[in-house]
Amino acid sequence: MRTRALLALLPAVGLVAALAGCSGDAPEPAASSDAASVDVCATPSGDASEAISVTGDFGAAPEVEFDAGLEGDETERTVVIEGDGDTLEAGGQARVAFTLFNAATGDEIDQYGYADGETQAVFAADTTQFIAGIAKTLGCVNEGSRVASYIPAAEGFGEAGSEDFGVGAGEGLVAVIDVLDIVPTVDSVPQAADGEDQPATEGFPTVTLADDGEPTVDVDGVATPTELQVAVLKKGDGEVVPDDAQVIVQYKGVLLADGTEFDSSWSRGEPAQFALSGVVPGFAQAIAGQTIGSQVIAVIPADLAYGDQESGSIPANSPLVFVIDILAAY
């Protein structure tokens, strides 16, 4: 198992992924002009991919057999299990579980994402982010599918191979990938919370919404909090947001002291996408456990925000107020 080696190839955007061409031991991604001409949805099935025998249930570690020494000039893929979910469009991302082999030797390189509690990798059907063979394995495959592919060296680790992966010069790859779910994008989700309006909660700031959903926040008379305070303004009917989720949200943040806006996705013109692990604790705690489609207001004490540190236009020891529309989580 070489999970650590795989994780060393994470792309700069921080995706929990592997096989991204951004390690010194990995090939460079295709140049943008070349990548734009690659049709990741037109990958054929062929003798090499058909020679890969895969058994087992979707979402569980597969049993994979093939004769060492598989060869071919281009990536081939065979859909072993056809899912009925949404299609992973070219350029899109999906959470996956995968098993990877050296096609020349038959040796397993890595298997990841099948164990309970194991964070799934995120792969992209995009040759600017991932080696071409992975992108061409996934392009236009349905969510819920299992795909087996043969990837030649030219669309894998190139003529140099990869010492970390145990792939020699000119050796190809065999990949078996389960497309667990498609990662939403900021363009594919509602741009404002669509949950059911809830009665106002006493003691919280007053929120009024523009026609497009952008909130205005009035903090007049609101007491300084000693602990996190959260109220639901709109109750969505989507799934509950896990503590460790990646989310897409609209939000506006103001200082409790005088209502001055210090940050807003609305002002930037599109929702924000980030991991809950990457924001201040009060903001993350206000979202985790809520349902997708909800709008919440959070009054956050300074110790769950930036504490005694200044941050941009936020003075030290400032309690904050956020109105957050929870649009997606994955």
Cα(272)–Cα(57) distance, integer angstroms: 35
Name the DSSP letter for residue 10.
Answer: -
The reported pTM is: 0.71
In the chain, domain spans: 3-182, 196-329
* CATH classification number, 3-182, choose in 3.30.565.10, 3.10.50.40, 3.30.1330.180, 3.40.50.510: 3.10.50.40
- Rounded to a whole number of angstroms, the distance between the first and last alpha carbons of the chain is 26
**Domain 196-329 is found in CATH 3.10.50.40:** yes
Q: What is the pLDDT along the chain (330 residues), one digit of tens a residue?
A: 233 333 333 322 222 233 565 444 444 444 333 555 689 999 999 999 999 999 999 999 999 999 999 999 999 999 999 999 999 999 999 999 999 999 999 999 988 888 886 666 889 999 988 899 999 999 999 999 999 999 999 999 888 888 878 899 999 999 999 999 999 988 889 999 999 999 999 999 999 999 999 999 999 999 999 999 999 999 999 999 999 899 999 999 999 999 999 999 999 999 999 999 999 999 999 999 999 999 999 999 999 999 999 999 999 999 999 999 999 998
Contacts of 132 (CB under 8 A, 6+ apart): 30, 38, 75, 155
Cα(297)–Cα(233) distance, integer angstroms: 7
Question: Do the domains at 3-182 and 196-329 have one common CATH topology?
Answer: yes
Pairing relation of β-strands 229-235 and 261-264? unpaired
Other C-beta atoms closer than 10 Å to the C-beta of 244 total: 11
